[in-house]
A and B are shown apart, each in its own frame.
Chain A
Amino acid sequence: MVHILLFASLAQQAGTQKVSISVDKSATVEEIRTMLQTQVGKLAGIEGALVALNEEYVELSDQVKDGDTVAFIPPVSGG
C-alpha cells in the first residue's frame, strides 16, 4: 500500500485526509497522482501542489514504492 496524505483544499474536495492505494510494482509520483484521482475523483489544483515523499519534497518523476507516504502539498500559507 502507498499512503497518500491530502491537506487544505485537496482534503476538503476528497472528503478525507488519508487515502491508501495498492500498487503492484513501483510507480512514479505522477502515476500515483492519476491513480488517486481515479479513486477519489478529480481534485482541482492538485497539479499546482508540491509533492513530499516520506516527508521530503520530490519531483513528479520520482519513484514511489510499497509502504511509502506521499503527501500532496498545495501552496502553503503559514505565518
Chain B
Amino acid sequence: MSEKLYLYPQWIRVWHGINAILCLILILTGLSMQYSNPDTVVIIRFDIAVNLHNISGVMLSLSYFLFLIGNMIRPNGRHYKIVVKGFLKDLMKQFIYYAYGLFKGEKTPFPITKESKFNPLQRFTYIILMYFLVPAVILSGWVLIFPDFIQNNLFGQESIHLFDLFHLMTGFVISVFMIIHVYFCTLGKTALRNFRSIINGYHESQ
C-alpha cells in the first residue's frame, strides 16, 4: 500500500514551473545567440533571442529571489542543508544505488520522507545548483546586460570577455543539469509518477 506525502507546497510548484519555463527559454535563446548566423536562423532570430534572453533573465532573477526568501521563511529550506559527517559515504551509497542497485531491484537507500525529500546526491546537486551556479549565472548575466558598470580589465583581460565566458560555461553546466534532472525524474515507480508529483504536490511512497 503506497503512502501519499504532501512534499511540494503550492509556492514550490509554482516557482518550479516558472523556473523550468524560464530556464528552457534561456537555454534556447542562449544557444540561438551563441550560434547566430546572418544567413540562417538558429532556433530563434538573434534580436528576438537577445530580448527574450534579457527578459527571461530578469524574471529568473526575481523568481530566484523569491525562492531564497521562501527557503528562509518556510520549512523547505531545511532540505538544502547538509550534515557533513558521513555525507560523503551517503553520497557514494546513493551513487552506487543508481549505478548498480537500481538495476537489481534493490530498495532505495534513502527513502523519501516528509523530513527528507531529497536523497544525498540530490541534496548535494541542488545545493551546488541553487546556491552557487544559479546565482553565478544570474550575476554574470546582469553584468552582461549592464557592461558599462564594470571595470574594463580584470586579470589583464577584458572583463566583459571573462564574464561572457563565465556566463556561457555556467549556463552550459545548468543546461546539462536540466537534461539529467529530467531523466532522473523518470526513475520513480513509473516514468511519469514524479512529474505528476510536482504538479499535484503529492509524492507516493512505497
A and B from one assembly? Answer: no
Chain A residues engaging chain B, CB cutoff 8 angstroms: none
